[in-house]
Amino acid sequence: MHQYFFIKTYGCQMNEYDSEKLNDLLEFNGFKASNNFEDSDIAILNTCHIREKASEKLYSDLGRLSIFKENKKKIGKNMQIIVTGCVAQAEGDEIIKRNKNVDYILGPQNFHKLPGVLKNKKTQKVHSEFSYKQKFDSLVPSAKKNVSKLVTIQEGCDKFCSFCVVPYTRGAEFSRPVEQIFAEIKHLSNNGAKEVTLLGQNVSSYNSEIFEDGVKKKVSLGYLCSIITKINGLKRIRYLTSHPNDIDQNLINEHKENSKMMPFLHLPVQAGSNKILKNMNRKHTREFYLRLIKKIKENVADMAFSSDFIVGYPEETDSDFQETLDLIEKVKFASSYSFKYSARPGTPASIKKIQVSEEVSNKRLEKIQAVLNQYQTQFNLSFLNKTVEVLFSGVGRKNNQFVGRTPHLQPVHVTSNLNIIGKLLKVKLLRLTAFSFHGKLVE
């Protein structure tokens, strides 16, 4: 008899990708996906450690699942509870200690072991080795057909920003082999994917090699993009997330010369004050960041940028915060994410003596979000009445309504009597609402 599983995914796109891969792997091994925990024999929580209260959320979900498991037991049924992802990596033993109903813990580089662990009823409960190669070698081709797909090309990080847990939970940088990435994207393209987003905690540090005409060649992110561009059905290439220090001329040239490269770059700066950047161990200055933006713009005129910001970082003064606002004004980001600093246990920033008060952090967050929204609206308004190419990937809520994205990742709604999912079509943008454009097909 089949065993049913359900995966709850927390957090980032990398976790979404991992959950999809875990889903494919379990189905490949004879397990069946279910739509909810209630109908499942195996409950999987794929956790994220990046935001505040990640572990609190996990423990409260585990509490609910435990009650469910106990009730099932009373009627002679079993449910296995599995915790995967970054919280599993960081707090595996603690989770098992605090909740006896958890059966297995698998860190992000171990989820490929789950079919074997379940089938062989392993006695080892916590699996937290950094086994990147085995993980990627075990992945099976994706079963889900979507127009836009995520593909992890790199994992881990060697940068050690003072506020971040990634180097500890995902481990050192690892780049997947070019051939493996090419084969995965080719398979996705053969199954209808038109756009791919290459993922990595530090995607711009991608670093691999291939043999070309018998000569070993280094492959950076720019070169990798030029290689996957050869896949005919693939129309758009994006990548996420980059570190300013790793953006090289190769990548910039690829954007300049390759029309499949989308002109939208998520390039986190985190803060605009050199003092705070130094405290954060970002290893770049505001001047370096601004020079890089200028250089990219000189090469790729329509490039738009998004960023991440942390406000209320330890020792951030009003004038440091003002420098962040000043940097935003200079770059005019097309969109951004901003967060209030929250200490992640075990990171160097969490033990700094001068912490910014909650009240001041809240005010700064409100201010920065207002400024970022203003530039986002300004950016979007500049597209009104223009015609842009939109890749349609799904249906809207209304009859005959379809949703797609512009090259700059803006959502667009149109109506059409024909099914246009998977099509790249020209749209005149007529109206802008809080969340998306509404437009008219022009061909």
Which stretch, 96-104, 137-145, 154-162, 374-382, contacts ligand SF4 (CB under 6 A)?
154-162
**Which residues are CB-neighbours of 67 under 8 A, at least 6 positions away?**
none
Structure tokens at 111: 């989820």
User: Strand, helix or coil at 254?
Assistant: helix
**With binding defined as CB under 6 A, does residue 161 bind ligand SF4?**
yes
Q: Which is nearer to ligand SF4, 164 or 188 (CB)?
A: 164
Contact between residue 151 and residue 181 where contact means Cβ atoms under 8 Å apart: yes
Helical H segments across 267-357, by residue range? 274-279, 286-299, 318-331
Closest separation between CB of residue 206 and ligand SF4, Å? 14
Burial 281-311 (b: 16+ CB within 10 A, else e): ebebebebbeebbeebeeebeebbbbbebbb
Tell me which residue has tokens 């018998």. 214
Pairing of strands 215-219, 236-240: unpaired
**With binding defined as CB under 6 A, does residue 154 bind ligand SF4?**
no
**With binding defined as CB under 6 A, does residue 266 bind ligand SF4?**
no
Closest separation between CB of residue 431 and ligand SF4, Å? 37
Q: Which is nearer to ligand SF4, 98 or 159 (CB)?
A: 159
**With binding defined as CB under 6 A, does residue 166 bind ligand SF4?**
yes
List residues bridging with 401 in a β-sheet. Answer: 415
Which stretch, 73-81, 153-161, 187-195, 318-326, contacts ligand SF4 (CB under 6 A)?
153-161
Which stretch, 31-39, 152-160, 377-385, 395-403, contacts ligand SF4 (CB under 6 A)?
152-160
Question: With CB under 6 A, what is the number of residues at the site for ligand SF4?
Answer: 10
Among 159, 278, 352, 367, binds ligand SF4 (CB under 6 A): 159
Which stretch, 59-67, 155-163, 222-230, 425-433, contacts ligand SF4 (CB under 6 A)?
155-163
Q: DSSP characters for 76-144?
A: T---EEEEEEHHHHHHHHHHHHH-TTEEEEE-TT-GGGHHHHHHHT-S--EE----HHHHHHH------
Which stretch, 94-102, 156-164, 229-237, 297-305, contacts ligand SF4 (CB under 6 A)?
156-164
Cα 279 from Cα 271, distance rounded (Å):
10
- Encoded one letter per residue, x for contact with ligand SF4 by CB under 6 A and - for no contact, window 19-58 reads ----------------------------------------
Closest separation between CB of residue 283 and ligand SF4, Å? 9
Cα 334 from Cα 356, distance rounded (Å):
28
Cα 120 from Cα 135, distance rounded (Å):
18
Closest separation between CB of residue 83 and ligand SF4, Å? 22
User: Strand, helix or coil at 168?
Assistant: helix
Q: Which is nearer to ligand SF4, 92 or 268 (CB)?
A: 268
**With binding defined as CB under 6 A, does residue 157 bind ligand SF4?**
yes
Q: Which is nearer to ligand SF4, 246 or 315 (CB)?
A: 246
Q: Which is nearer to ligand SF4, 22 or 157 (CB)?
A: 157
**With binding defined as CB under 6 A, does residue 127 bind ligand SF4?**
no
**With binding defined as CB under 6 A, does residue 356 bind ligand SF4?**
no
Q: Which is nearer to ligand SF4, 324 or 406 (CB)?
A: 324
**With binding defined as CB under 6 A, does residue 164 bind ligand SF4?**
yes
**Which residues are CB-neighbours of 95 under 8 A, at least 6 positions away?**
58, 62, 83, 87, 88, 102, 105
Structure tokens at 322: 């003002």
Q: Which of residues 186-245 bind ligand SF4 (CB under 6 A)?
A: 201-202, 243
**With binding defined as CB under 6 A, does residue 107 bind ligand SF4?**
no
Q: Which helix (H) or strand (E) holds 8?
A: strand 4-9
Q: Which is nearer to ligand SF4, 46 or 201 (CB)?
A: 201
Closest separation between CB of residue 202 and ligand SF4, Å? 5
Closest separation between CB of residue 166 and ligand SF4, Å? 4
**With binding defined as CB under 6 A, does residue 337 bind ligand SF4?**
no
**With binding defined as CB under 6 A, does residue 331 bind ligand SF4?**
no
List residues bridging with 199 in a β-sheet. Answer: 152, 240
Residue 327 — left, alpha, or beta (φ > 0 → left; ψ -120 to 50 → alpha)? alpha
Tell whether omega for the bond before 241 is within 30 degrees of 0, i.e. cis: yes
Cα 399 from Cα 219, distance rounded (Å):
46
Closest separation between CB of residue 174 and ligand SF4, Å? 13
Task: Write out the residues near ligand SF4 by the rule CB under 6 A.
Answer: 157, 159-161, 164, 166-167, 201-202, 243
